[in-house]
Amino acid sequence: MMARGSRVAWSILERLGRFDGGSNPPYPIFMRKADAARIYAALLERYPDARERPETVARGTPFEVLVLTILSAQTTDKAVLKVKPSLFSKYPTPEKLSKAKVADVEKIIHSLGYYHAKAKNIIAASQTLLDEFGGNVPGTMDELLTIPGVGRKTANIVMYHALGKNEGIAVDTHVRRLAQRIGFSDTDNVEVIERDLMAVFPRNEWGDLTDVFIAHGRATCDAKKPLCTECVIKGMCRWYRDNRALI
Ligand code: SF4
């Protein structure tokens, strides 16, 4: 049976949004801000160009970033950038894309996977921009989340890279894996992971944190074969601490 002190602690965690109340157990994750700062500094030193990724969907007009980020679900930015020229030469504005036929858009984006749903989403998103926001990409998180195909990850990317606002942290597959391994979070719920990261990183780093974690995830902290012995943050990583005897 859980002791009264523990129950109180879990209750506090729940109120703080650090326990999702679902199948994941409550967890006493208290990564200190000072540790987060050391980890971020070490990763920035290791990947000085992480924030300048050449192959990213997060460059262009707000409309382009919105559409490309919707298309990037379950695929790579590189694959999306391949269809970018043909898509926007035919449909350069929300007006044009909102009037497109689904089958015509599918022909352009069929290499991306889930292309039927994605084609419908970017057409519907364009229609929403016209109907609700005067043809512009809206500037608040709440408004962005009303657009078809847009979840918090997409909204965070658009907010930071297209509109210059640090409202949250885009949690993609790399960010989720690193947050769990390093010890920032202990849940699969990406919204809780985002809140855990926001609690220890200063707001002015939120937008870039995703790119820095992506760089580390690609170069070192691979999903199947993390190169822990070469990792610049292994001394601060929970996964390394717990598994180093097996490495
Ligand atoms: S020590 Fe290993 S698991 Fe931890 S961040 Fe580095 S590569 Fe990833």
Q: Are 131 and 99 in contact (CB under 8 A)?
A: no
The residues near 62 (Cβ < 8 Å, ≥ 6 apart) are 136, 137, 158, 162, 163
Whose CA is closest to atom 4 on ligand 1?
Answer: 237
Residues of the chain with CATH 1.10.1670.10: 25-51+169-246
CATH of 25-51+169-246, one of 1.10.3720.10, 1.10.579.10, 3.30.70.920, 1.10.1670.10: 1.10.1670.10
pLDDT of residue 244: 81
Which parts of the chain have pLDDT scores under 70?
A: 1-30
- Protein fold of 62-162: Endonuclease III; domain 1 (1.10.340)
The pTM for the full model equals 0.84
Measured from the Cβ of residue 202, the count of other Cβ atoms closer than 10 Å reads 13
| CA within 13 Å, CB half, 12 | 9
- The reply to whether ligand 1 has any atom less than 6 angstroms from the CB of 42 is no
pLDDT of residue 27: 43
67-89 CB burial, b ≥16 within 10 A, e <16: bbbbbbbebebebbbebbeebbe
Angstrom CA distances, 23 to 47, 83, 170, stand at: 36, 39, 23
Predicted confidence (pLDDT) per residue in 1-44, tens digit: 444 554 555 455 444 544 444 434 344 456 889 999 999 999 99
Residues of the chain with CATH 1.10.340.30: 62-162
- The preferred substitution site among 46, 177, 185, 228 for testing ligand 1, maximizing ligand atoms within 8 Å of CB, is 228
Computed over every residue of the chain, the mean pLDDT equals: 89
Q: Which residue is listed with tokens 């990947």?
A: 47
